[in-house]
Structure 1
Amino acid sequence: MSLDTVKNALEHPDVEQPFAELGLKPDEYTRIREILGRRPTSSELAMYSVMWSEHCSYKSSKVHLRQFGDKMPENDAMLVGIGENAGVVDVGQGYAVTFKVESHNHPSYVEPYQGAATGIGGIVRDILAMGARPVAVMDPLRFGAAEHPDTRRVLPGVVAGIGGYGNCLGLPNIGGEIVFDPCYQGNPLVNALCVGVMKHEDIHLAQASGAGNLVILYGARTGGDGIGGVSVLASETFDADGPAKRPAVQVGDPFQEKLLIECTLELFREHLVAGIQDLGGAGLSCATSELASAGSGGMRVELDTVPLRDHTLSPEEILMSESQERMCAVVEPAHVARFMEICDKWDVIATVVGEVTEGDRLEIFWHGEQIVDVPPRTVAHEGPVYERPYARPQWQDTLQADAAERLPRPGTADELKATLLDLVASPNLADKSWVTDQYDRYVLGNTVLAQPEDSGMVRIDEETGLGVALATDGNGRFCKLDPYTGAQLALAEAYRNVATTGARPLAVTDCLNFGSPEDPAVMWQFAETTRGLADACQILGTPVTGGNVSFYNQTGETAIHPTPVVGVLGVIDDVERRTPVGFAEEGQIILLLGDTHEELSGSAWAQVAHDHLGGLPPRVDLERERLLAEILIAGSRDGMIDAAHDLADGGLAQALVEACLTGGHGARVVLAEDLDPTVALFSESAGRAIVAVPRSEEMRFTDMCKVRGLPCARIGVVDGDTLDFQGHFTVALDELRTAHEQTLKALFG
């Protein structure tokens, strides 16, 4: 094909173009022609197609995501909010923390290792682009049925990719989730979170300002891998026969990324960068258009100067390539020589590919011929906005009427014990060490808490002990039953997990994973989820700082459960005062905080014992969640709590098992007499936690709860090598440990 220039586009307006093959709708193609006043060149068409994809433009979700700004709670800690590569919050002592979670779902199904590895690489560069040193990663994961053959194909590759890339970067993996459910068969969710630390004055933004400043592309050479990668893969539905898109998945090189990180941080330290953007989804199309759009002028790029791994690539392919480990910086002319010296020191290829101009156009040239002449905002920030039709599905009432509270319950002590062991050994509740042992959780020496703790925690100042805690949560089963409440439960659990460690919840990031936005039922789920999350953030005072939407997670007509993954970041003044999960000392008093109700629908008990999903999820009381968090934080700060664990999946029984096994001590527990034993053990009522307190602190702690109005019941004592539910059944810790630890090894090891 001959080179398609702007001149050709003017002289040959009726050239047939494959816009539909690039994912553009007829009305979108018409709008592009209206914007340009002519047909687009093939390079312009490539840019618009990737930048207007669902993954990059948020065209189906924008109208709902605005709530996160409209309902944003007052929060003096917010330094950078939605719209940049990642949000930034003030954590005190002059430090700022940036964090974000994103998806790499479809690429990870097509090519599990590289899809997951480059998911980590991409989110790390987002954090780096804000001016921060990345300090930790997390990986919320969802897979199909644990015993399904395709899960055995996908999961080991995903875990190896996350571990291989993150370990090579030298970044600790401090937490995440692994959930199995048949709804994710064919559509695993591979979400990746990164957190970085900087001083306030080190914040950088993605903008190209200052006419005459030079645009420098640095990092890896551009290749044919990832052409139309995540921007296309994440913007369409797989057919029932599975994926056939391997060439579209990016290939990562963590050692190149490590050099890129250290090189970039040195460039920042010497104040050589006026604006910066990583190259992720949509590659150069994204970096150039977003930098120019957010700046005060235009940009001219000489595309033929881009360093290539494959010299057969066409201009369109270079613009669409999502090759990894690349950054784009705007640099004042006086700083270019020093910029190049530092890149050379780190063995990082750096090339001047363009300059900032006085105008308001993004102009791209290929061997002297102009192939792009567009208003950059129309590419990067003024794409289509759809108000997709949405409607509550007809099956929702039937689903909610089928309550799990009606299901048969264990009738004897032996049946209760067998049920507990079944839950403890179920893939979703079983020990995840088979996975987490493949990750380095303690590299860099600042990891304070990591799985199986409720939250990951890292120290960010060695002298003062200042630290941050992070937790991610999301229950697709609850969201299927009621998306509004399910989203709030996801936030509440992550908020609670942060508070149990003693950290004060501060801000939120989210990754919203859904089926096709063209399905009115899916869009209703999305609308309800965003409304629920925005309302809950407003009440809890935790603003959404940024995140990601992942649509088209479905195979044929079968969509995944609506799965909002919510990450909460908290701050703790001194990590030495952190609260762990495990019961570590005999004689500690075990207290149950919060109220237990008959809430079994959507629970792990309903899933494991009956393979059932129906009814209404647990109720949410956000003011109670706030009160519980305040009590847990105060108890940690004042030295009243030795251990704490939130109650969520599996209820009280699972929380006690995990606290006993983690700490290596048993417990004697008395169940509430006014509750059915199944409810007392397995209800998943929200707003609850167990704490272990020294005998000397019991009265002071319970008095604090009484004064503040938080229900607090003494249910047992740390003792022995069994978990003894007095009057019901006793199970040895060795038996629990065997049941808990063998499942994933047997399935995947």
Structure 2
Amino acid sequence: MSLADSDRELVVEELGREPTPAEAALFENLWSEHCAYRSSRPLLSAFESEGENVVIGPGDDAAVVSLPGDDGTYVTMGIESHNHPSYVDPFDGAATGVGGIVRDTLSMGAYPIALADSLYFGEFDREHSKYLFEGVVEGISHYGNCIGVPTVAGSVDFHPDYEGNPLVNVACVGLTSEERLVTAEAQEPGNKLVLVGNATGRDGLGGASFASEDLSEDAETEDRPAVQVGDPYAEKLLIEANERLIEEGLIESARDLGAAGLGGASSELVAKGGLGAEIELERVHQREPNMNALEILLAESQERMCYEVAPENVERVREIAERFDLGCSVIGEVTAGNYVATFGDETVVDVDAEFLGEGAPMNNLESVEPEQPETDLPEVNLEEAFETVVSSPNTSSKRWVYRQYDHEVGVRTSVGPGDDAAIIAVREAEQGLAISSGAAPNWTDTAPYEGARAVALENATNVAAKGATPLAAVDCLNGGNPEKPEVYGAFEGIVDGLADMCATLETPVVGGNVSLYNDSTAGPIPPTPTLALVGAKDGYDAPPLSLAPEADAELLLVGDYGLESGAFDLGGSEYLARFDGSDAFPELPAEPAALVETIAEVADDDATHATHDVSHGGLAVSLAEMVTEEAGLEATLPVSHGEVAGALFHEQPGRVLIQTAEPAAVREAFDGVAPVVSLGTATDDGSLVLEADVGTELLETDAGTIDELRSTIGDELA
């Protein structure tokens, strides 16, 4: 760890002296890209974060929104990345990512009810990618299962440019209320600062600065000390202890110990309240001998919370911590002065807390707008194309992943992983909370701005297909080295694209995370804007994804403008990725907000038998996913034989398949909003037959063959 010369000059000017070693390390971590957002903060004002249901927006450990029509129930939302740690140590890196975002939820006085993981790796056929993939999934499943929080949604993508730098993005949703709500803003001088949880060790030292630099060739060995080690059983005890502390009203403010450890959490807590602190570092309960001040201050040991507690409540907090077998240290108190940390008789830190947290200068970086792709379309046999795209690791079944997660724990999961969106029962409000999370590297690699707009629309369509109306979103903006103009230009594109579409959908982006310097000797990652979006609906039921075998029900395709015009743009599609082609990215619907709203209304109609979003892999993959042994499909595409590849494999977002007993009513609902095309009816033999409307049979297969094609990941890793 070392403070940059230009930053040191600012610190010396502010302090009127050279910083102590502990101060220099603290500034280096808290002024890092990971904590201070020095390259991205100037761009983040593009996001609309206010709305009638927004209670707390960006800036706290997690955002808080109220459910529509319910004054008493609040939902918390947070998302974070653990990218570099998961490359160095995939199991612990991913596991501690889960632990960190869960503690962010606890900080708001909320109880965690659901997790979503969005994961990105190099090409699946690379052994190193498989090693990272297996380790990350094992880490998430171990930690989430042990703490009893279900992982219900997410995504997995493979792309060659993640080979040297995978991404692990984890979101958490929690429940709280106005009476229980706590923030990370210190309230009053004289209140005590109490550290509750695991003892402090030397793991994770310099984690914030490690996350703010490119991965080196030797990162897996050299940077291992910067990766934290998790203990999910201690986290489970911390969850339950936190619940008791909140229920008894013992907490004035809270912050979990994540980036920059105790120094980061405690200084940010008091700075947010315009206050200071006096901390005695030797009081911190430790698990390793002879720790020095800097180690105690900056270690990122897991499963720890910093609470502001009124003096008269300290003893009760200690009793509850002891009941749950957790360590408890009164480490200092809130003051009206500077942020001061002592170690024995020595003052190791004495700085203004606000300058420490907000004084980092912003970067002024060059950007270059990405070039648009040229059109270079492959000629591929249709049967080969279908088999290749349906069996691609990006579009095939992710059952191997989510079957390792206990997505039923907590008995709130109404719709689990494997569908367009998960639904969690919020019985306190008699509402269902739909959750969708993910990005689309092929889309944003092809066209950062339009691809990011499409990512937002895709997640909104996912929740709408299950009958929910978008409520709010959080984002995890992942990019490469921002000092490279072409990388920063692409990053600007995904920020603006995501912000524009969320604003169009009137879905506030209430919080998030930025992860830059995802660059390695293999090069930068694709710009990756993960969006975790929640929607609300009355009740907990939703139409299934699979077809029902009712012969009188019609399967309609909604929103496909290419079928109207006969022109298809294939840019960003899995089809072109598999066959080395390129093309322009497809245009998005002109009225996406009305489209999403209408999809949600129709999905909730009693005449609707099944719904499924059309996205990655195009119509071919979505139709294959709807077919079962009990219900097949005879479908006719309204295209000539020569346009079939475009019709089946283009990935224009905002499309949905609806199986309905009242097709005329669906057409009326979408009149003036989006085109509606009838594809055919279900059969009872489990077959999938595709024809062109010129009378040509294009493809015939069956559910058994499709299942074999879609089992790529599970078969390879079995």
Partner of 1:666: 632
Q: Give 1:62 shift.
A: 0.7
Matched, 1:144 2:109: no
**1:407 counterpart SS class:** coil
The CA distance in 2 between the partners of 1:596 and 1:605, in whole Å, is: 19
Partner of 2:350: 373
The CA distance in 1 between the partners of 2:522 and 2:402, in whole Å, is: 34
Partner of 2:340: 363
Residue 316 to residue 709, structure 1, CA distance change in 2 (3 Å):
closer
Partner of 2:503: 538
**2:179 counterpart SS class:** helix
Query: Which letter does structure 2 place at the counterpart of 1:304?
Result: E
Partner of 1:83: 59
Whether contact under 8 Å (1:300, 1:356) holds in the other structure is yes
Query: Which letter does structure 2 place at the counterpart of 1:472?
Result: S
Partner of 1:627: 594
**2:701 counterpart SS class:** strand
**1:204 counterpart SS class:** coil
Residue 502 to residue 347, structure 1, CA distance change in 2 (3 Å):
same
Matched, 1:126 2:82: no
Matched, 1:446 2:412: yes
Partner of 1:498: 463
Q: Deviation digits for residues 383-442 of structure 1, max 9, x if unmatched? A: 22112121225xx25xx12x24x322x4xxxx3223212211111111111111111111
**2:637 counterpart SS class:** coil
1:529 to 453, 478, 494: 494
Partner of 1:388: 365
Matched, 1:685 2:652: yes
The CA distance in 2 between the partners of 1:294 and 1:565, in whole Å, is: 27
2:10 to 14, 22, 31: 31
Whether contact under 8 Å (1:91, 1:97) holds in the other structure is yes
1:177 to 148, 155, 177: 155
Whether contact under 8 Å (1:624, 1:687) holds in the other structure is no
Partner of 1:478: 443
The CA distance in 2 between the partners of 1:349 and 1:365, in whole Å, is: 21
Whether contact under 8 Å (1:504, 1:571) holds in the other structure is yes
Residue 433 to residue 664, structure 1, CA distance change in 2 (3 Å):
farther
The CA distance in 2 between the partners of 1:142 and 1:637, in whole Å, is: 33
The CA distance in 2 between the partners of 1:216 and 1:202, in whole Å, is: 19
TM-score (norm: length of structure 1): 0.91
Query: Which letter does structure 2 place at the counterpart of 1:680?
Result: A
Q: Give 1:330 shift.
A: 0.4
Alignment map for 1:233-252 (pairs within 5 Å): 233-243=210-220, 244-252=222-230
The CA distance in 1 between the partners of 2:679 and 2:336, in whole Å, is: 71
Partner of 1:271: 249
Q: Give 1:131 shift.
A: 1.0
Partner of 1:108: 86
Q: Give 1:292 shift.
A: 1.1
Query: Which letter does structure 2 place at the counterpart of 1:189?
Result: L
Partner of 1:567: 532
**2:616 counterpart SS class:** coil
**2:710 counterpart SS class:** helix
The CA distance in 1 between the partners of 2:258 and 2:614, in whole Å, is: 38
Q: Give 1:194 shift.
A: 0.5
Q: Deviation digits for residues 559-590 of structure 1, max 9, x if unmatched? A: 111111111111112113x2221113332310
Q: Give 1:703 shift.
A: 2.2
The CA distance in 1 between the partners of 2:225 and 2:336, in whole Å, is: 39
Whether contact under 8 Å (1:627, 1:710) holds in the other structure is no
Whether contact under 8 Å (1:496, 1:625) holds in the other structure is no
The CA distance in 1 between the partners of 2:500 and 2:398, in whole Å, is: 33
Partner of 2:545: 581
The CA distance in 1 between the partners of 2:228 and 2:383, in whole Å, is: 48
Alignment map for 1:1-400 (pairs within 5 Å): 22-68=1-47, 71-72=48-49, 75-92=51-68, 93=70, 94-229=72-207, 231-243=208-220, 244-359=222-337, 361-392=338-369, 396-397=371-372, 400=373
The CA distance in 2 between the partners of 1:297 and 1:240, in whole Å, is: 43
Query: Which letter does structure 2 place at the counterpart of 1:236?
Result: E
Whether contact under 8 Å (1:112, 1:154) holds in the other structure is yes
The CA distance in 2 between the partners of 1:288 and 1:180, in whole Å, is: 38
Whether contact under 8 Å (2:378, 2:580) holds in the other structure is no
The CA distance in 1 between the partners of 2:609 and 2:179, in whole Å, is: 38
Q: Give 1:557 shift.
A: 6.7
Partner of 2:585: 617
The CA distance in 1 between the partners of 2:290 and 2:607, in whole Å, is: 67
**1:201 counterpart SS class:** coil
Matched, 1:605 2:538: no
**2:19 counterpart SS class:** coil
Q: Give 1:153 shift.
A: 1.7
Partner of 1:4: none
Matched, 1:637 2:604: yes
Whether contact under 8 Å (1:217, 1:350) holds in the other structure is yes
The CA distance in 1 between the partners of 2:452 and 2:266, in whole Å, is: 35
Q: Give 1:318 shift.
A: 1.1
Whether contact under 8 Å (2:275, 2:353) holds in the other structure is no
2:393 to 424, 427, 449: 427
**2:427 counterpart SS class:** coil
Q: Deviation digits for residues 18-44 of structure 1, max 9, x if unmatched? A: xxxx24321011111111110001111
Whether contact under 8 Å (1:279, 1:328) holds in the other structure is yes
Query: Which letter does structure 2 place at the counterpart of 1:41?
Result: T
Runs of 5+ in structure 2 lacking a partner?
Answer: 563-567, 692-696
Whether contact under 8 Å (2:591, 2:673) holds in the other structure is no
Whether contact under 8 Å (2:215, 2:519) holds in the other structure is yes
Q: Give 1:627 shift.
A: 2.1
**1:250 counterpart SS class:** coil
Whether contact under 8 Å (1:146, 1:747) holds in the other structure is no
**1:667 counterpart SS class:** strand
Q: Give 1:368 shift.
A: 2.7
**1:678 counterpart SS class:** helix
Whether contact under 8 Å (1:146, 1:427) holds in the other structure is yes
Whether contact under 8 Å (2:157, 2:441) holds in the other structure is no
Query: Which letter does structure 1 place at the counterpart of 2:347?
Result: Q
The CA distance in 2 between the partners of 1:617 and 1:748, in whole Å, is: 33
Query: Which letter does structure 1 place at the counterpart of 2:226?
Result: A
Residue 24 to residue 445, structure 1, CA distance change in 2 (3 Å):
same
1:733 to 703, 706, 714: 703
Runs of 5+ in structure 1 lacking a partner?
Answer: 1-21
Residue 644 to residue 300, structure 1, CA distance change in 2 (3 Å):
same
Query: Which letter does structure 2 place at the counterpart of 1:62?
Result: R
Residue 518 to residue 309, structure 1, CA distance change in 2 (3 Å):
same
Matched, 1:407 2:378: yes
Quick one: percent identity of the two aligned structures? 37
Partner of 2:717: 748
Whether contact under 8 Å (2:159, 2:441) holds in the other structure is no
Whether contact under 8 Å (2:191, 2:334) holds in the other structure is yes
Query: Which letter does structure 1 place at the counterpart of 2:514?
Result: V
The CA distance in 2 between the partners of 1:260 and 1:241, in whole Å, is: 35
The CA distance in 2 between the partners of 1:51 and 1:673, in whole Å, is: 57
Q: Give 1:700 shift.
A: 2.2
Query: Which letter does structure 2 place at the counterpart of 1:109?
Result: Y
Query: Which letter does structure 2 place at the counterpart of 1:689?
Result: V
